[in-house]
Each structure stands twice: as structure tokens, then as C-alpha cells.
Amino acid sequence: MITESISTVTGIQSLQYLYPLIVLGIAGFVILGLGLVTSSKRAYAGIAFGSLVLAAILLLVIPQNTYNVLSDSFTFNQFGLYFAILFLISSLFITLPSLKNISAKGDIFYALLLFVTTGMVVAAFTMNLIVLFISFEAVSIGTYVLAAFHKTRRTLEASTKYFFTGVVSTSFIIFGLAFFYQAMGTFQLGPAMAVASKPALLIALLFLTIGFGFKVAIFPMHQWAIDTYYGSENSVSAFLSTGSKLVAFMIMIKVFIIGFASMGEDVFLLFTLLAVFTMTYGNISALSTTNVKKLFAYSSIAQAGYLILVFSITSYAMWSGQNYSFIAINAVAAAMLYSLVYIFMKGGAFVFLNTVDKESPEFSDISGLARKSPALAMGLSILLLALAGIPFTGGFTGKFYMFLYLVDVKLWWLAIIAILNSAISVFYYFRVIMYMYWKPESQVLMTRSRAASATVLISAVVVVVIFFFFPLFPLLHGYATSLFGVTG
Amino acid sequence: MDIFIADTVALFLFAVGLYGVMTSNVGIKMLISVEIMINSAVIALVVSAVNSMEPIVLALFVIAIAAVESVIGVSLLVAVFRKFGRVSISLLKEIRE
């Protein structure tokens, strides 16, 4: 295994690592206080934007090595740094476009957004299950409120469904953690964990999979996701399907790859089954819908299926006794790359809905968009092609590495299922593009939301740039190593 | 062996709560069932604190988080009551058409 120098930081020196969190938290309270003085949405958005950027800069100046801070509660490594930056991006993504969605109580919206982001960054920087659980709950509870924002009939329904499934999943997670402790005797994820009781660990695996599976929206636990993504405000849907989903995914990487490293066979069987069903369900259901927002919701489920393939790769490498640490690092790096692309393509697609002057547009409402605003149609087309995994977009790169390592561990049949699924998905993404380019113009107006249009275009550019930026994967490979460096 | 008995009790309580959530149609009833589920998990946490206090620490946090969750839940249900007139979950079918 890899050994890396791990420094322990105690006392007042710990503070420099916590500055990004402090900045985000304080900015949240500042916005709440400002809400008493002014009701200018732009002021709140400006502070939120500024503090998110400042937090990102503060994260980047932390010396890049692995540090255990505050008696192992926090573990600052490059893996966490990368995901923390991703979470900040996913919040930045909706900061300005959501100005259009908010009519009142903008202070509460932006304060909640910052508090949720703080929870996400904490989750990125810890290997302790207690802290992981608390930060995960901070994210969940914040997003229940965000989903209900405006308290209209639609958002209330979306949030109530999200809330009840979310709370049930929380109790599954707590139960799973209890059994995990009974089996392992520790909450600290890390080197060579000794298993005391196999049956307890098996129950823990089942409960934790159900619990986190709800948040990532994998197949049997996906029902809430369609309603919530479809019912919430567009920018909140964007946040739920990027930031909130990736937090759960990142926690799953930590728990199921590091924590359950000794259970190769069971993890493999469980997650392969779930991945196959999730991909197939998401893609097949998306074929029949004619609503753009619902299509994005279904495709978001299908994408979760591709993401969790990483657990099949690592656990199969463990089970079949292949070069585990080498393959696991590659697989995690592939998952990290896919997460990066996923944020831009999915977030951009949901934010696009903000430019259409209708609550949940059908295909016919965006037909002829290419003539009304060519740039926007081009941007959305690139994002949809990326979601389908067409070459010359980052979506291809993400899927390529994921499927490459599937073949690498000789799971070629699973790779074929995944590629077939991508082929199915091309149909429904192309239907949207067809409506935009080859159908008569619809009467629905486009709003002049400059922030939303800019976000769509920027994400389209980034998605294309990722494809041509070849040193990215070796870089991520180094970052993924730091996750396993702790296990050295 | 003692842990086994306590785990069985906790799992039984968990099943009771899950049954309540799945069969009930009234929001408040579902909230109470969820509380039963979370508290059964707290029992499982507390009995696993054999060698160290770590699970107890988590249990304390869980109790606090459960309180926060019921606050959010009740306020959501109040908002639902104001919009829909009842807190029956079957009313929520605006999205599903």
C-alpha cells in the first residue's frame, strides 16, 4: 500500500485549516443579519458569491499534503480538497441564476445555501463517521427547506416527499452506523480495519446502502427524486441533483471503498445489481417523457447509475484478488473526473430551464429555440451531448475512463451493459436537440435572464474544454492517491 | 449475547416505525413513526458502546438532529395544512397529475 507522510496538527494551528468553513458560516449569518436592514436580493447574492469564491481561494492556499486536524476529526487531503472545490462550484452555479426564482425572503435562501455548503465542505474533509454523519445531516436538513422554498403547492409537495424519504434514510444510516461500530469497533475510517463480526458488518452494509442510496437516488430508492427535482424551483433542482447528490456519493466512496474494503464480494454483488437497475430504469423511463424537466430528472437517475459503477470496479478488484490499490486509485480518479463533468453538464441543464418563461416546459415549448437564441440552443445541445457521452465533450472523457477500468478488471459484460445504456440515452437527448433545431418556433417566450444564460454557456465551454485538457486525469490520479494514503 | 438481544429489540422497533411510515397517510402519524425509527437506532448505538464512548457521542448528536428534523417536519406539515386544508399525504399529487 501507499505510504504518505501524514502530519498531525493540534491547537491553534488547526485554525488555518478551518478558515474556509468559518468564512462560509459567518457569511451566512451576515446575510441573515442584512435581511433585517435591506431587502435587496442582489446584495445577498453578492455576499454569497463573494464568500464562496473567498472560501475556494482559502482552500487552495492550504498546503497540499495530508493533515489530521483536531484529534482526527478532520482529515485534510487532496481528495477532500478536490471535492470541496466541486461543492463550492455547485453552489456558485446557482447563486446568480436563482435571483430569478426568488421573489421574497432572499436572505433566508442565500443563508441556507451557505450553511448547506459549509456542511458539504466539512463532509469533504473528514474520515470520521460521526463528523461525516453530522455534516451529511446539515446538508439534508438545509435542502429540505430549500426544496420547499416559496411554499407553493408544487414545492411543498416536492419537499414533503423529499423530507419523509430523507428522514427514513437518515434512520437507516444511524442504524447502519451502529452495526458498523459493532463490527469494527471504531468510527474512524482508515488503515487495515479489523473486522470483529462479519454478520454485523453485512447488516451495516445493507442499511448504509439503503440510507445513502436514497440520497444518491439509486434504483429502488429513487421515487422521491423524480417528484422533487420536478416540483422544486429550477435552481434548487440543479443544486439537489449536483451538490447534494455528489455529497452523498463522496461519502459513499469513503464508506464503501475504505470502510468496507474487506467485503469485496458482498459490495460487488449489491452495487452491480443496483447500478444495472438504476441505469436501465433511468434511461428507459426517460424515453417516454415529453417534459424537459422530467427528462432531466430521469437522466439524473441514470447518471447516478454510471457513478456507482466505481464501487463495482473496486470491490471486484478486491474480490478477485487483482492489484487492489492500483485499480482502486484509478477507479476513484475516474469517479472524480465524472463528478466534475457531471456538475457542469447537469447543473447547466437544470439552470437552462430558468431561461424559459414557463414553470416546467414541455418539448414543444422549447421548439425552434435555435432561431430565437442560437447561442443558448448551442450551449444546451453541448450539455445534452455530454450527458449522452458523445466524443469531443467532457461527458465522453468521464464515461471513457469509467468504462475503461471496468474492462481493466475484466468486467467486460458490465461495461457492455453500460455502453448499451449510453446508446439508449442518445435517443432522448437527441429528441430535445431535434425539437430545438428542426421544429417550428413555439409561442413561449424566453426570459432575459443573463445570469442563467451565461451559466449555461460557461458550463458548455467547460464541458468541451475538459475533453481537450489531457493532463487532468494524471492530476486526479494523484489526488485519489491521497484518499488511500491514509490507509497506508 | 446481550448485544444480540438489544439489537433484536432495536430492529423490532425499527420495523414497527417503518411499517408506520409506509402504511400511514396522516403526516403527523408518519412523523411519530419516523421518530420511533430514529430512537430505535439510538438504542442500537448505545448498546454498542462497550469499549469506548464514541457511539454515545454519536447518540447525543442523533438526539439533537432528530429534534431538528421534527421541527422541520412539523413546520412543513403546517405549511401543507395552510395550502391544502389537511395534512393527508394522499392530497399531494399535484406533480403526478
Say how many domains are in chain A. Answer: 1
- Evaluate if residue A187 carries a pLDDT over 50: yes
Cβ of B56 under 8 Å from any chain A Cβ?
no
Q: B92 to chain A, minimum CA–CA distance in Å?
A: 6
SS3 B85: coil
At B84, the pLDDT band (50, 70, 90 cuts) reads confident
At A152, the pLDDT band (50, 70, 90 cuts) reads confident
Cβ of B10 under 8 Å from any chain A Cβ?
yes
Average pLDDT of the segment spanning A395-415: 92
Test mutation, A174, A290, A293, chain B, max B CBs within 10 A: A174
Domain that holds residue A219: 3-487
Q: Do A181 and B55 touch (CB under 8 A)?
A: yes
- Evaluate if residue A319 carries a pLDDT over 70: yes
Q: A400 to chain B, minimum CA–CA distance in Å?
A: 36
End-to-end C-alpha distance for chain A, whole angstroms: 5
Q: Tell me the residues of chain A between 393 and 452 that have a Cβ less than 8 Å away from chain B.
A: none
Cβ of B63 under 8 Å from any chain A Cβ?
no
Average pLDDT of the segment spanning A40-55: 93
- Evaluate if residue B2 carries a pLDDT over 90: no
A188 grid coordinates: 474512524
Predicted confidence (pLDDT) per residue in A212-271, tens digit: 999 999 988 888 999 999 989 889 999 999 999 999 999 999 999 988 888 888 999 999
Cβ of A196 under 8 Å from any chain B Cβ?
no
For the range A181-186, what are the long-range contacts, defined as Cβ-Cβ under 8 Å and sequence gap of 24 or more?
A181/B45, A181/B48, A181/B54, A181/B55, A182/B3, A182/B7, A182/B48, A184/A259, A185/B51, A186/B54
Q: Do B14 and A187 touch (CB under 8 A)?
A: no
DSSP state, A363? G
Test mutation, B13, B69, B70, B89, chain A, max A CBs within 10 A: B69
Q: Tell me the residues of chain A between 122 and 161 that have a Cβ less than 8 Å away from chain B.
A: 129-130, 133-134, 137, 141, 144-145, 148, 151-154, 156-161
| pLDDT value of residue A287 | 92
Q: B41 to chain A, minimum CA–CA distance in Å?
A: 5
Nearest CA in chain B to A199: B4
**CA–CA dist A109, A45 (Å, integer):** 10
ipTM: 0.96
Predicted confidence (pLDDT) per residue in B22-63, tens digit: 999 888 999 999 999 999 999 999 998 888 889 999 999 999
Which domains does chain B possess? 2-96 (1.10.287.3510)
Q: Kindly list the strands in the beta sheet with A6-9, ordered across the sheet, starting from the edge strand earlier in the chain.
A: A6-9, A66-69, A74-76
Residues of B in contact with A157 (CB under 8 A): 92-95
Nearest CA in chain B to A177: B45
**CA–CA dist A129, A41 (Å, integer):** 37
DSSP state, A192? T
Computed over every residue of chain A, the mean pLDDT equals: 89
CB pairs under 8 A between A and B: 112
Q: Do A156 and B80 touch (CB under 8 A)?
A: yes
Query: pTM for the whole thing?
Result: 0.94
Nearest to A45 by CA among A104, A114, A99: A99
**CA–CA dist A291, A435 (Å, integer):** 12
Run of H or E including A8:
strand A6-9
